[in-house]
Amino acid sequence: MQIKQNRLRLKASIDVICLLTSQSCPLRGHNETNNSENQGNYLEFRKVLAAYNKDVSKVIQQAPYNAKYTTPSIQKEILHIISNKVRNYIRQEIGNSKFFIIVDEAQDESKTEQLDHVLRFVYKYETIRERFFFTLIIRVFDTTAATLKRELCSVLARHNLSVENSQGQGYDGSSNMRGEWNGLQALFLSDCPYAYHVHCFAHCLQLALVAASRDVRIIHQFFSNLTFIINFIVSSPKCVDQLQSVKSDEFKRLLSIGEIDSGRGANQMSSLKRAGDTRWGSHLYSIRSLMKIIDATMLVLEHITNDKSCNSSQRGDVDVALDLMISIDFVFIARLMEEILGIANVLCQSLQQKS
Instruction: Check whether residue 27 and residue 118 sit in a common domain.
Output: no
Residue type, 223: F
Instruction: Check whether residue 182 and residue 252 sit in a common domain.
Output: no
Q: Chain centroid to CA 255: how far?
A: 35
Question: How large is the C-alpha radius of gyration of the chain?
Answer: 27
- Please tell me the least confidently modeled range out of 34-48, 191-205, 321-335: 191-205
* Residue 56 maps to a domain: yes
Instruction: Check whether residue 126 and residue 56 sit in a common domain.
Output: no
Residue type, 13: S
pLDDT value for 47: 92
Instruction: Check whether residue 52 and residue 91 sit in a common domain.
Output: no
Number of domains in the chain: 3
Q: What is the mean pLDDT of the chain?
A: 86
Instruction: Check whether residue 209 and residue 345 sit in a common domain.
Output: yes
Task: Give the whole-number percent of the chain exceeding pLDDT 90.
Answer: 34
* Residue 132 maps to a domain: yes
Arithmetic mean of pLDDT, 118-135: 86
Range of the domain at 97: 84-199
* Residue 326 maps to a domain: yes
* Residue 271 maps to a domain: yes
- Residues 303-317 have pLDDT tens digits of 888 877 777 788 888
Instruction: Check whether residue 111 and residue 179 sit in a common domain.
Output: yes
CA atoms within a 13 Å half-sphere pointing along the CA-CB vector of 217: 0
Residue type, 348: C
Domain boundary among 45, 70, 95: 70
CA atoms within a 13 Å half-sphere pointing along the CA-CB vector of 299: 14
Instruction: Check whether residue 89 and residue 64 sit in a common domain.
Output: no
- Residues 149-184 have pLDDT tens digits of 888 888 888 889 988 888 899 887 777 888 888 888
Burial of 161-176, coded b for 16+ CB within 10 Å and e otherwise, reads bebebbbbbbbeeeeb
Whether the CB-CB separation of 47 and 41 falls below 8 Å is answered with: no
| Cα 297 to Cα 325: distance, rounded to the nearest angstrom | 9
| Cα 226 to Cα 229: distance, rounded to the nearest angstrom | 5
Q: Chain centroid to CA 165: how far?
A: 30
Helix (H, G, I), strand (E, B) or coil at 132: strand
- Residues 29-68 have pLDDT tens digits of 889 888 898 999 999 999 999 999 999 999 998 888 888 8
Instruction: Check whether residue 50 and residue 117 sit in a common domain.
Output: no
pTM for this structure?
A: 0.71
